[in-house]
């Protein structure tokens, strides 16, 4: 009996030390919650410069950001350099008074200069880190990444939250692809695909409430296209039209807006595409590879500035043709760019692999060289089905 009591006591003491959750714990007040990371090169010296936007929870409380912690600033931005990304991150701790913690990080921004040197080691570092979420958004900027990370932008109290939400709802704006760490990693590891990242830039015309009276503009972060990569190295920027063509292939938009001139006046007609079905079908016939792209969509009239009725068959057909034409132009433009650059950022190889595995295998190493000879067949079919709530447009003096 006595022996049993002693054994239970020993077990209890061991359990107290090991299983109460106190071991290895870090108090939340000792953590510096990183919300956004910017990665730049430092001058010409191959040094990495890391900028971290760190939340100050005490000053970020409440939806309005009413300060309780003293400074009124919901974030604190810190910058450090090192020979590698990890060393730079550690150097942040030279003056950060808390332990750097990445689990809440929302976005990673690479500068163009850094991306030209290759992202492989950065992706490796972020993938190895157990704190980081794989759904962290990744972007590239032609500016200094530190400037973007340090910019107060959007409606959220924490700027990184604004950027994160901007990405999450970017399907409506359809100005840039949505790429997270998981997708970037998959593109990098794919034997045929080349990565593509959304471009973020600084916009000078965002107005802040406090500055409206002074007619002063405030810098905001905006989605502004896409950057293409050869393996892990940055190659170039896509134009706005090319980016919109790219989205059909890799980052399906939630909606698309097309604006045309009225046939009878200088006013505009706006059409929204919400429902669509996009398919990409590779065909390998007589040693020639081609892709059939099929895009069936339903359009809706959303804004009409002239006398224009959906019930006139001629009007309907004219709009449908114009939408088809616009879509075809953007898809053909991005296709031509892909062929010119010989980079598979449209992930054609991945589609081919599923249909023609053995042929893909034989072109595993030279798939990029195959791209210029690939033919594209487009089947776009737009149906203008709805005029939203109105039967007739609101034209002045026309009851």
Partner 1 sequence: MVTEMTTPILIALIINLIYAKAIGLTEGIAAREVGNDFWMATLMAILQGAVMMVITVLLIKQNAKEDLVQRAKSIVGPILGGLIGLLFVLYFAGAYAVVMITFVDHLRDYFLPELPTIVFVIVASLVALYAMQKGIVVTGRIAVVGVFSIILLNILLMIGTIEDFNIERLFPVFRTGIMATFLASRHADTDFAMASMMTGMILPYIAQKDKWIKATLTGVFYGGVLVMLWPILECGVLTAPETGHYIVACMQMARSAEIGWFVHRYEMIMVAFFAISLLVQLMMLLYCGVEAIAHTFTQKSSRLWLPITALFSMTSYLIVIDHRRTMQFLSVIWPPFSLAIAFLVIALLLVIGYVQKFIKQRQRFASMKKS
Q: Which stretch binds partner 1 (CB under 8 A): 138-146, 264-272, 309-317, 349-357?
A: 349-357
> Which of residues 307 and 359 has its CB atom nearest to partner 1 in the complex?
359
Kindly state the smallest distance separating residue 215's Cβ from partner 1, in Å. 38
Q: Which residues of 365-386 are buried (b: 16+ CB within 10 A; e: fewer)?
A: eebbebbeebebeeebebebee
- In 10 A of CB 93, how many CB atoms? 14
Q: Is 201 in the site for partner 1 (CB under 8 A)?
A: no
Supply 131's token pair. 């704190």
Q: Which stretch binds partner 1 (CB under 8 A): 56-64, 126-134, 224-232, 253-261?
A: 126-134
Figure out which of the listed residues 81, 127, 240, 339 binds partner 1, where binding follows CB under 8 A. 127
Q: Is 44 in the site for partner 1 (CB under 8 A)?
A: no
> Which of residues 209 and 354 has its CB atom nearest to partner 1 in the complex?
354
With beta carbons less than 8 A apart as the criterion, state whether 305 and 268 touch. Answer: yes
Kindly state the smallest distance separating residue 358's Cβ from partner 1, in Å. 8
Q: Is 103 in the site for partner 1 (CB under 8 A)?
A: yes
8-state DSSP, 180: B
Q: Which stretch binds partner 1 (CB under 8 A): 16-24, 75-83, 198-206, 331-339?
A: 16-24
Site track 165-184 with partner 1 (rule: CB under 8 A), x = hit? -----------------x--
CA distances from 144 to 39, 94, 98, 113, 200 (A): 8, 22, 26, 9, 11
Kindly state the smallest distance separating residue 223's Cβ from partner 1, in Å. 19
> Which of residues 79 and 106 has its CB atom nearest to partner 1 in the complex?
106
> Which of residues 72 and 357 has its CB atom nearest to partner 1 in the complex?
357
Supply 328's token pair. 């075809």
> Which of residues 11 and 259 has its CB atom nearest to partner 1 in the complex?
11
Q: Is 294 in the site for partner 1 (CB under 8 A)?
A: no
8-state DSSP, 342: T
Count of residues interacting with partner 1 (CB under 8 A) = 25
Strand-strand pairing, 137-141 and 107-111: parallel
Q: Which stretch binds partner 1 (CB under 8 A): 129-137, 211-219, 300-308, 329-337?
A: 129-137
Q: Is 135 in the site for partner 1 (CB under 8 A)?
A: yes
Alpha helices in the chain (DSSP H): 2-18, 85-92, 112-116, 120-128, 145-150, 159-168, 170-173, 181-189, 240-250, 313-341, 348-355, 357-362, 367-370
Q: Report d(CA 369, CA 357) in Å as an integer.
A: 18
Query: Mapping DSSP to helix (H, G, I), strand (E, B) and coil, where does residue 301 land?
Result: strand
Query: C-alpha dihedral over 253, 222, 229, 289, to 10 degrees?
Result: 20
Kindly state the smallest distance separating residue 356's Cβ from partner 1, in Å. 8
Figure out which of the listed residues 236, 261, 263, 357 binds partner 1, where binding follows CB under 8 A. 357
Q: Which stretch binds partner 1 (CB under 8 A): 10-18, 69-77, 199-207, 211-219?
A: 10-18
Kindly state the smallest distance separating residue 137's Cβ from partner 1, in Å. 12
Q: Is 185 in the site for partner 1 (CB under 8 A)?
A: yes
> Which of residues 18 and 68 has its CB atom nearest to partner 1 in the complex?
18
Kindly state the smallest distance separating residue 272's Cβ from partner 1, in Å. 23
Contacts of 333 (CB under 8 A, 6+ apart): 239, 241, 242, 245
Question: CA Rg, the chain, in Å?
Answer: 26
CA 86 vs. chain centroid, Å, equals 24
> Which of residues 24 and 266 has its CB atom nearest to partner 1 in the complex?
24
With beta carbons less than 8 A apart as the criterion, state whether 54 and 160 touch. Answer: no
Q: Which residues bind partner 1 (CB under 8 A)?
A: 11, 14-15, 18-19, 23-24, 103-104, 127, 130, 133-135, 182, 185-186, 189-190, 350-351, 353-354, 357, 361
């Amino acid at each position: 009996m006595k022996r049993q009591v002693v054994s239970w006591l020993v077990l209890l003491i061991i359990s107290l030390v090991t299983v109460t959750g106190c071991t290895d714990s870090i108090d939340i007040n000792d953590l510096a919650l990183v919300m956004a990371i910017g990665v730049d090169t430092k001058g010409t010296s191959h040094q990495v410069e890391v900028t971290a936007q760190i939340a100050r929870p005490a000053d970020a409380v409440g939806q309005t950001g009413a300060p309780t912690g003293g400074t009124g600033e919901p974030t604190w931005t810190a910058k450090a350099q090192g020979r590698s990304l990890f060393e730079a991150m550690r150097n942040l701790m030279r003056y950060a008074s808390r332990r750097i913690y990445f689990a809440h990080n929302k976005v990673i921004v690479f500068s163009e200069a850094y991306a030209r040197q290759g992202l492989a080691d950065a992706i490796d570092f972020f993938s190895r880190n157990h704190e980081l979420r794989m759904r962290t958004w990744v972007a590239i900027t032609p500016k200094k990444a530190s400037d973007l990370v340090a910019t107060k932008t959007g409606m959220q109290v924490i700027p990184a939250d604004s950027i994160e939400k901007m990405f999450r709802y970017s399907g409506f704006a359809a100005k840039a692809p949505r790429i997270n760490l998981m997708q970037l990693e998959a593109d990098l590891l794919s034997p045929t695909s080349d990565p593509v990242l959304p471009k973020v830039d600084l916009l000078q015309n965002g107005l802040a409430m406090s500055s409206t009276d002074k007619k002063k503009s405030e810098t905001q972060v905006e989605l502004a296209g896409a950057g293409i990569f050869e393996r892990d190295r940055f190659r170039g920027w896509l134009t706005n039209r090319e980016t919109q063509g790219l989205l059909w292939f890799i980052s399906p938009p939630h909606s698309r807006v097309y604006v045309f001139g009225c046939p009878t006046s200088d006013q505009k007609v706006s059409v929204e595409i919400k429902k669509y079905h996009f398919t990409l079908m590779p065909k390998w016939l007589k040693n020639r590879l081609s892709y059939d792209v099929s895009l069936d969509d339903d359009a809706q009239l959303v804004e009409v500035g002239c006398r224009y009725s959906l019930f006139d068959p001629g009007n309907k057909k004219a709009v449908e043709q114009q939408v088809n034409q616009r879509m075809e132009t953007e898809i053909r433009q991005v296709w031509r760019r892909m062929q010119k650059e010989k980079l598979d950022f449209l992930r054609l190889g991945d589609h081919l692999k599923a249909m023609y595995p053995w042929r893909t295998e034989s072109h595993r190493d030279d798939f990029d060289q195959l791209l210029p000879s690939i033919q594209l067949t487009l089947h776009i079919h737009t149906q203008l089905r709805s005029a939203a709530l109105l039967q007739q447009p609101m034209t002045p003096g026309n009851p």
